[in-house]
Amino acid sequence: MDKTQDIMQRVRRIEMQARRLVTATFAGLYRSGFRGQGLDFDEFREYTPGDEPRFIDWKVTARTGTPYVRKFHEEREQALLLAVDASASMRYAGSLSPDSKLEYAARIATTLAYSAALNGDKTGLLVFGCNPHFYLPPAKGVRQYLRVLTSILSAPPGGADEDVPTVVDELLRTQRKKTLLVMISDFLFAPDKQSIGKLNFCHEVIPMRVNDPLELSLPAAGRVCALDAETGVQLAANLSDAALRAEHSKRVHAHFADWDKLFGQLSIDHLQLLTNEDFMPKLRALFKRRSRLFLR
């Protein structure tokens, strides 16, 4: 089977999965969680029976002595921008997962892009970590989510992880209007609070970290020869050595703890996903949280 046939088979498989996953329930969650990006305050008006109590403005009510509610109008120009890491480390697939990290990321991206299409929202894509990068300008329609999926799976061979400022600068340059920006990566590159903060100031950023379970906890597999896919460096190690496995786990968790600390400092909601788990429960929980934040 040639490369094109292989990509098209994977596109069809992931597309069918996305269509099954985006049920009416999730489509509603997506809309309520996403629409906070495009609702602008319009005016106050007197409360009438049947209005949602959560929209009562208590300051105006106290000042006038009459209950008033806030009225909003929906901004139609909204966009979802997907930034997907296609570096060499994202091509890894361990024995515990059926998918590489990149294919798992493509499944998440397609689910979100299909939800956006059903909601009438624009979707754009930046694939980074490969040479050259690929940018797909935001557009509406069902065909757009297929372009998103095909572009991720057909990304050129990935290279080394890129520094965060380079990726952030490209995102800011290509996307001028405020968007919901979902960054899907293994986040093996070094944290950079200044760059991520700048990106989150201009857009609403939701990082989704995708890792293979074997990256976080090495198996006691005896002597192995490992190859760093991004540097080409070979390393021989004895994975039966408990101290070596413990040191690896310590360093990996310290690295991700630094990212978690950064996201906490910037009040950025994020997901941590493993390629051997179903991502939908965490995705649903994310949009429920966003819905509740909007309604406060």
Range scoring the smallest mean pLDDT among 31-40, 170-179, 222-231, 268-277 = 31-40
What span, in angstroms and rounded, lies between the C-alpha atoms of 207 and 16? Answer: 25
Backbone angles phi, psi at 271, to 5 degrees: -115, 145
Q: How far is CA 217 from CA 109, 242, 255, in A?
A: 26, 11, 14
Q: In the predicted model, what is the mean pLDDT of residues 108-136?
A: 92
Query: Is 70 exceeded by the pLDDT of residue 241?
Result: yes
In the chain, CATH 3.40.50.410 covers 3-29+76-295
Q: Where are the beta strands (DSSP E) in the chain?
A: 39-46, 68-74, 79-85, 122-128, 134-139, 180-185, 204-211, 223-227, 234-238, 271-274
| Pick from 84, 83, 78, 148: nearest CA to 113 | 148
**Would you tell me which CATH number, out of the four given (1.10.940.10, 3.90.1150.10, 3.40.50.410, 3.20.20.150), belongs to the domain 3-29+76-295?**
3.40.50.410
Range scoring the smallest mean pLDDT among 179-193, 202-216, 280-294 = 280-294
pLDDT at 36: 47
pLDDT tens-place string over residues 65-99:
888 877 755 555 568 999 999 999 999 888 778 88
Query: Is 90 exceeded by the pLDDT of residue 125?
Result: yes
| Pick from 198, 167, 13, 165: nearest CA to 86 | 167
Query: Is 80 exceeded by the pLDDT of residue 44?
Result: no
Q: In the predicted model, what is the mean pLDDT of residues 254-277?
A: 96
pLDDT at 25: 74
Range scoring the smallest mean pLDDT among 131-145, 175-189, 226-240, 258-272 = 226-240
| Pick from 161, 111, 155, 164: nearest CA to 136 | 155
Q: In a 10 Å sphere around its CB, with 0-12 CB exposed, 13-18 middle and 19+ buried, how is residue 142 labelled?
A: exposed
What pTM was computed for the model?
0.82
